[in-house]
C-alpha cells in the first residue's frame, strides 16, 4: 500500500510539473481538467493521507508490543533520536543538490517557467527543514514537498502521549482519541468556513493561503493518522483472534470501502463540468473535512480484511514480495523524485503535445530514474548510516534481564 501511494505521488507530481511546460495544444488543457481521469491527479493528496494512516497504524502496533515486553517503559529520547537520524541525512544531502546541482542539470529556455517551489529560499530557511518545523515557521518553504516530513515528525513527537494512554487506559483512551479526532475535524471545517478558503477552483487549484494555512498544517492531517492509530490498536487487541465472517459481510465490507474511496475521489467530478454551478464554501468545507475521515476509514477495512484472511486477490497483490525493494527505497524516492522530474521538464527546447499517453511515457521515465537515484542514495547513505546508528544505539540499550541471568549462570557453573 505504501509503494502504491508513492507511485501515485510521483505520478501526480509528474502531471503538475509537466502541465507548466509549453504546449502545442494548450487550449486542450481546460477540457483535460474536466475529464474523469483528471480526478486521480487533482485528488492525489489522498495518497499522502494513506501515508499518514499507515504511519499511525504501524507505530501503534509496534509500540504496544514493545510496551508489553518492557511493562510500560518507553525510552522517548532514544525514540526521537532514532527518528531524526533516520530522516535527516538524506534530507541534508537533498537540500544542496536542489539548490546547486539542479540548475546545472536543467538549463533550458523555459527553466524559470517550470518550478516546484523556489529553491533560492533554501539559503534562508534550510535549517527550518532540518528542524522539521518548516510547515509552520515560514511561508517560504525549502523543498515544498518536504512539508510531509514536518507533519510526520510532529505527529511522531506527539505519539508517546497517545501510546502511553492506550497502554494504560486501553479502550477508554481509544474513545478519547476518537473524540479528539472529531474535534480536530470540526476545527478544520470551522477554519475553512471562517476564512472562506477556496480549494477547488475551476481547474482544481488551491489558493496560496489555503495551501500554507490548511494543507501544510499538521492538525489538518491528524485525522488520517489518528484513525490509523485506532485501527492499529483494534488489530493489536485482536491479533490472536479469529474472525468468522460470512460472505455477505465480507462483500459488504469491500463494497463500503470501495464506495468511500470512489466518493472521495469523484464526488467533485460533476462540479468540474462546463456550465456547472460553482461550489460554495460550505460544500467545499464539508467535502474536504469528511473525506479526511472517509478515506482512512476505507483503508481500515482493506488492512483488516488482508490481515484476517479476507483480502483475496487484494491481499496477494498488496503483500507480494515484489514490493519489498521499492519499499526500502521509498524514502529516498520521495525526496528525490521532484528533482528528476524537474530535470526532465526544465530542459525541454520546444513545445510538447499534451496527452495522457505522453504523460505516461514521461512518468515511467521519471520513475525509473527516481528508483535508480534512490538506490544509489540507499547504498551510499541510508544503509551505511542506518547500520552505524544501529550499532551505536544498541550499545546504549541495557541488556535484557534474561540475557544477564543466563550469562551469570554460565559464569557460576
Closest CA to 200 of 55, 43, 66: 43
Domain extents for the chain? 2-412
Q: pLDDT tens track of the chain, all 413 residues? A: 889 999 999 999 998 888 878 778 777 777 888 888 888 888 888 999 999 999 999 999 999 999 988 888 888 999 999 999 999 999 999 999 998 888 888 776 766 666 666 778 888 889 999 999 998 887 788 888 999 999 999 999 999 999 999 999 989 999 999 999 999 999 999 998 998 887 765 545 566 778 888 888 999 899 999 999 999 999 999 988 888 889 999 999 999 999 999 999 998 888 888 777 888 889 888 998 999 999 999 999 999 999 988 888 899 999 889 999 999 999 999 999 999 998 888 777 778 888 888 889 989 999 999 999 999 999 999 888 888 887 877 655 555 444 333 433 333 33
Q: In the chain, helix, strand, coil percent, each to 5?
A: 75, 0, 25
- CA separation, residue 282 to residues 126, 188, 192, 272, 285 (Å): 37, 12, 8, 17, 5
Look-up of cell digits 462540479:
271
Give bridge partners of residue 23 from the DSSP assignment: 352
Distance in angstroms (rounded) separating the CA atoms of residues 143 and 83? 20
Distance in angstroms (rounded) separating the CA atoms of residues 64 and 334? 28
Q: Which grid coordinates belong to 235?
A: 488489530
Distance in angstroms (rounded) separating the CA atoms of residues 52 and 232? 13
User: Would you list the DSSP string of 133-199?
Assistant: -HHHH-SS-SSGGGHHHHHHHHHHHHHHHHHHHHHHHTHHHHHHHHHHHHHHHHHHHHHHHHHT---
Q: What is the pTM of this model?
A: 0.89
Q: Are 91 and 129 in contact (CB under 8 A)?
A: yes
Give bridge partners of residue 352 from the DSSP assignment: 23
351 contacts: CB under 8 Å, gap ≥ 6: 21, 22, 23, 24
Amino acid at each position: 500500500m505504501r509503494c502504491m501511494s508513492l507511485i501515485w505521488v510521483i505520478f501526480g507530481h509528474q502531471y503538475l510539473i509537466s502541465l507548466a511546460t509549453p504546449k502545442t495544444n494548450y487550449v486542450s488543457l481546460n477540457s483535460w481538467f474536466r475529464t474523469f481521469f483528471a480526478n486521480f491527479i487533482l485528488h492525489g493528496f489522498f495518497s499522502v493521507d494513506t501515508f499518514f494512516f499507515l504511519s499511525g497504524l504501524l507505530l501503534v502496533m509496534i509500540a504496544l508490543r514493545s510496551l508489553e515486553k518492557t511493562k510500560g517503559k518507553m525510552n522517548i529520547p532514544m525514540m526521537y533520536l532514532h527518528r531524526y537520524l533516520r530522516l535527516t541525512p538524506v534530507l541534508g544531502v537533498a537540500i544542496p543538490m536542489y539548490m546547486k546541482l539542479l540548475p546545472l542539470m536543467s538549463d533550458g529556455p523555459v527553466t524559470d517557467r517550470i518550478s516546484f517551489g523556489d529553491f533560492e529560499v533554501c539559503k534562508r530557511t534550510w535549517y527550518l527543514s532540518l528542524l522539521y518545523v518548516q510547515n509552520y515557521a515560514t511561508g517560504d518553504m525549502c523543498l515544498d514537498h518536504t512539508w510531509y516530513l514536518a507533519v510526520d515528525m510532529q505527529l511522531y513527537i506527539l505519539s508517546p502521549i497517545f501510546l502511553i494512554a492506550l497502554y494504560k487506559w486501553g479502550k477508554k483512551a481509544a474513545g478519547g482519541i476518537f473524540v479528539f479526532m472529531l474535534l480536530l475535524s470540526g476545527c478544520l471545517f470551522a477554519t475553512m468556513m471562517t476564512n472562506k478558503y477556496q480549494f477547488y477552483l475551476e481547474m482544481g487549484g488551491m489558493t496560496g493561503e489555503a495551501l500554507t494555512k490548511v494543507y501544510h498544517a499538521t492538525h489538518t492531517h491528524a485525522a488520517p493518522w489518528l484513525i490509523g492509530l485506532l485501527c492499529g490498536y483494534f488489530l493489536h487487541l485482536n491479533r490472536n483472534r479469529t474472525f468468522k465472517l460470512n460472505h455477505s459481510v465480507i462483500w459488504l465490507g469491500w463494497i463500503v470501502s470501495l464506495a468511500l474511496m470512489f466518493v472521495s475521489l469523484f464526488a467533485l467530478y460533476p462540479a468540474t463540468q462546463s456550465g456547472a454551478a460553482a461550489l460554495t464554501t460550505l460544500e467545499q468545507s464539508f467535502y474536504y473535512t469528511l473525506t479526511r475521515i472517509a478515506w482512512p476509514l476505507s483503508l481500515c477495512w482493506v488492512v483488516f480484511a488482508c490481515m484476517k484472511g479476507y483480502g483475496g486477490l487484494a491481499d496477494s497483490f498488496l503483500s507480494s514480495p515484489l514490493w519489498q525493494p521499492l519499499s526500502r527505497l521509498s524514502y529516498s524516492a520521495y525526496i528525490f523524485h521532484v528533482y528528476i522530474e524537474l530535470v526532465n521538464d526544465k530542459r525541454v527546447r520546444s513545445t510538447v503535445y499534451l496527452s495522457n499517453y505522453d504523460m505516461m511515457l514521461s512518468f515511467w521515465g521519471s520513475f525509473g530514474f527516481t528508483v535508480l537515484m534512490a538506490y544509489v542514495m540507499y547504498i551510499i547513505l541510508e544503509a551505511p548510516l542506518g547500520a552505524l546508528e544501529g550499532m551505536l544505539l544498541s550499545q546504549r540499550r541495557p541488556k535484557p534481564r534474561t540475557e544477564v541471568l543466563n550469562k551469570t549462570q554460565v559464569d557460576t557453573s
